[in-house]
Amino acid sequence: MFLSGKTAFVTGGSGAIGAAIVRCFVSEGAMVAFSYNGNGEKGLSLAAELNGGKSVPIVRAYPLDVLDGKAVLSLDERIEKELGPVDILVNNAGVTQVMPFALIEEEDWDMVMDVNVKGTFLVTKAFLRGMIRRKKGNVINLGSLAGMRILEVPVHYATAKSAIMGFTLSLAREVARYNIRVNAVIPGMLSGGVGLNVPDKQKEEYKKYCTLGRVGTPEEAADLVAFLASDRSSYINAQGIFLDGGI
């Protein structure tokens, strides 16, 4: 069990990839807190399922708007009281819109950039404080192939995910002195999450150029995140690891 004795916090834990990460972390022995926004029933159901009637919960679900800085700070303190200090932070919460550049309005651009980039900044800043005090920690950011390759994807989403890689590299350099690692997982097309919004024509084109000839799964992404969160990846830092089947 890679993560036995560790406590993790996953943003966007009620979505397809987030839920797969939460499940995987629990299977690897971690105590897990996760946030949800707008899908409370699914989030609470996932926590209840994984706790399975245990007298002491190993999974806790919390409502959170990642753009509410005060709420993020408060949640960090609450998780530490209820589950323990957070060793692993997974910045998974994100949004996209499927629309051509000409139809993107200023408010669309701001919304996608805010949730994906500013939300990652606010959550990381809050949870990094304890990691710096304890001089240990692990941050894993969810990027996207959309920000790293020439693909037919929404421009504002690609821009936001590209920014996540710059955030990862710079932060990793800054906090390495505190024994904190920062990496990014860069999925290609997956069968869940934003991949559900991709037209069939684009899915077939993706599979045509993918060396494995298929899309990935949220569970495959979760396995990679869990490995990066574990001590078995202790010499991996400041990396963006592609999970795209070979594009």
**pTM value?**
0.97
The continuous run of DSSP H or E covering 243 comes out as strand 240-243
The residue written with tokens 């996540």 in the block is 164
Share of the chain above pLDDT 70, in %: 100
pLDDT range class, residue 53, cuts 50, 70, 90: confident
* Residue 192: per-residue pLDDT: 82
Tell me the pLDDT tens digit for each residue of 107-146: 999 999 999 999 999 999 999 999 999 999 999 999 999 9
- Are 7 and 82 in contact, with CB atoms under 8 Å apart? no
Residue 102 pLDDT > 90:
yes
The domains found in the chain, sorted by start residue, are: 7-243 (3.40.50.720)
Give the catalytic positions in this structure: 157
What mean pLDDT is predicted for residues 40-57?
Answer: 92
* Residue 238: per-residue pLDDT: 98
Looking at beta carbons, which pairs linking 36-42 to residues 24 or more positions away fall under 8 Å?
Answer: 36/12, 36/61, 36/62, 36/63, 36/64, 37/12, 37/63, 37/64, 37/65, 37/66, 37/93, 39/14, 39/15, 40/14, 42/14
Pairing of strands 88-91, 240-243: unpaired
